[in-house]
Amino acid sequence: MVDGVVHDESVRRSGGVGLGLNISRRLTQLLRGELTFSSRLGEGSTFCLTMPTGCDAAELSRADGARRSLNGNHRVSLAGRHILVVEDNPDTRKFLTYLLEERGARVTTADEGSRAVESVQSAARRGEVIDLILMDMQMPVMDGYTATRALRAAGVRTRVVALTAHAMADDHQRCVEAGCDAYLSKPIVEDVFFETITGFLPGTSSAVAPQVRPWLEACKREFRASLPATRELLESAVRANDLGAVKTLAHRLRGMAGTMGLPELGRVAGACEDALRRDPGADLSIAAAELLRCLGDFGS
């Protein structure tokens, strides 16, 4: 396969023609790198990609460390900042609220786009400043794209950071076209999150990094405790052949499970959602089987 020779036997066994590996190797060679692998039948394979980048890895990680300790995200203070969190998933809304309040921010929340627009307008009437808007893009009633366009049309200049659990290539472009200033994909990674939002909050000062975080442990416990109920909801949505409900449940798990320390669950939920997006006519009991199995691991 690596040589570009396709064997009937491998096609029959793997269900693919085996061109991917050959293409990957040629691309690597064009970049003056090397792709090697070792494989053991029935056990698995290890692929190794080596590429000359022209920089010293040790140097890079030192520079990264210095930046973090100088301007480290875990040392950020958001005291005096007012942030509007627009998010339909209650777990994510709660998580973001705690995360921002921990750094001293004042947080206002909205669970869909039209409430966010109302919130911004009423803050303006009261003469209050909103420093930043975190906008989930997939929401019922009014989604984040529509809400951001409405805010921009009304002349609101507040920076908007889009949050999305999609992994599609044109997603970033769509967010920018709607008027967002930046884009973060879920699950939320704290370092990336704070680096992005502080870029829009000039003059952000530093603070001692929080050491004890009981709220985070509580969020994780509650999330795990909610999984048997989520499994039941998913089961009945499958039984009722309710495509929308299955997609919504998978989407929520995809966006939150990683942040709650369950990356595998997030990955399986993402695969389920993607499969249903590609083929809305798919058999729901097949499309959701792996996710149900995964949720079953958390007891009832």
Residues lying near Mn ion in the complex (CB under 5 A): 88, 136, 138-139
Tally of CB atoms within 10 A around 125: 8
Cβ of residue 254: shortest distance to Mn ion, in angstroms?
Answer: 10
The helix or strand, by DSSP H or E, that contains position 133, with its residue range, turns out to be strand 132-136
Q: Which is nearer to Mn ion, 113 or 179 (CB)?
A: 113
How many other C-beta atoms lie within 10 A of the C-beta of residue 226? 15
Distance in Å, CB of 66 to Mn ion, minimum? 36
- In angstroms, rounded to a whole number, what is the distance separating the alpha carbons of residues 300 and 298? 7
CA 102, 175, 266: angle at the middle one, nearest 5? 60
CB of 84 or CB of 139, closer to Mn ion:
139
In the bound state with Mn ion, the residue whose beta carbon lies nearer, of 139 and 227, is 139
d(C-alpha 236, C-alpha 230), whole Å = 10
- Which of 78, 165 has the CB closer to Mn ion? 165
AA identity, residue 117: V
191: three-class secondary structure by DSSP: helix
Residues 6+ apart with CB under 8 A from 153: none
C-beta of 88 vs 91, nearer to Mn ion: 88
For residue 264, the minimal CB distance to Mn ion (Å) is 21
Q: Output the six-digit token pair for 281.
A: 């006519």
Distance of closest approach, residue 140 Cβ to Mn ion, in angstroms:
8
Half-sphere exposure of 109 (CA within 13 A, CB side): 15
Beta carbon nearer to Mn ion, 88 or 273: 88
Nearest distance, CB of residue 22 and Mn ion, angstroms: 39
* C-alpha to C-alpha distance for 263 and 256, rounded to whole angstroms: 9
C-beta of 251: minimal distance to Mn ion in Å?
7
Q: Which residue is nearest to Mn ion (CB)?
A: 138
